């Protein structure tokens, strides 16, 4: 689920053939913006994984400092990313879910075909 205003998107991950809910994934990223070629965003590295029971964990916070060392982001930009993370953490601690839980049971239409590689050896 994408947002044009929030600095994160929410993904659903399933497991197994039965497609049971594995987790919700909160991907911190710049809000989507229109470009001449379509839409664009920038991943902000820091993410959260929310289990079906509501427990959650932060993911990849340790990589942010590495990106400062490598020059991808400044220390100020990383501080801003972590501020977004604090906001997401507060919502998760409060038990808020801004996504519709019905996505966990979504099924693709039966007439959809899986993607096939056109030339897997190319």
Domain that holds residue 45: 8-99
Strand-by-strand arrangement of the 43-50 sheet: 8-15, 20-29, 43-50, 56-59
Q: What is the pLDDT of residue 4?
A: 73
Residue-wise pLDDT tens digits, 76-109: 999 999 999 999 999 999 999 999 999 999 988 9
What local confidence, expressed as pLDDT, does residue 121 receive? 64
User: How far does Cα 57 stand from its chain's mean position?
Assistant: 13
Residue 66 forms beta bridges with which residues? none
Question: Which stretches of the chain drop beneath a pLDDT of 70?
Answer: 119-122
Tell whether 54 is covered by a domain. Answer: yes
The percentage of the chain sitting over the pLDDT mark of 70, rounded to a whole number, equals 95
Number of domains making up the chain: 1
Q: What is the pLDDT of residue 119?
A: 64
Note whether residue 122 is domain-resident: no
Residue 69 located in a structural domain: yes
pLDDT at 122: 55
How far is Cα 103 from Cα 16, in angstroms, rounded to an integer?
A: 16
First CA to last CA distance, the chain: 33
Give the tokens for residue 97.
């879910």
Q: What is the pLDDT of residue 114?
A: 80
Angle at 40 between CA 119 and CA 50, to 5 degrees: 85
Give the β-pairing of 38-40 and 33-35: antiparallel
Residue that the structure tokens 């075909």 belong to: 113
Structural domain includes residue 3: no
Measured CA angle at 85 (ends 20, 3), to 5 deg: 65
| CATH of residue 59 | 2.40.380.10
Model pTM? 0.84
Q: Is residue 108 part of a domain?
A: no
| 26 within domain boundaries | yes
């Amino acid at each position: 689920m994408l947002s044009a205003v929030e600095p994160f998107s929410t993904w659903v991950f399933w497991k197994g053939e039965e497609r049971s809910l594995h987790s919700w994934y909160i991907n911190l990223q710049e809000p989507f913006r229109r470009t001449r070629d379509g839409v664009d965003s920038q991943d902000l590295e820091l993410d959260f994984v929310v289990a079906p029971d509501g427990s959650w964990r932060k993911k990849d916070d340790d990589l942010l400092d590495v990106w400062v060392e490598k020059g991808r982001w400044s220390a100020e930009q990383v501080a801003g990313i972590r501020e977004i993370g604090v906001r997401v953490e507060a919502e998760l601690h409060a038990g808020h879910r801004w996504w519709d839980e019905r996505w966990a049971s979504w099924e693709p239409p039966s007439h959809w075909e899986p993607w096939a590689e056109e030339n897997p050896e190319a």
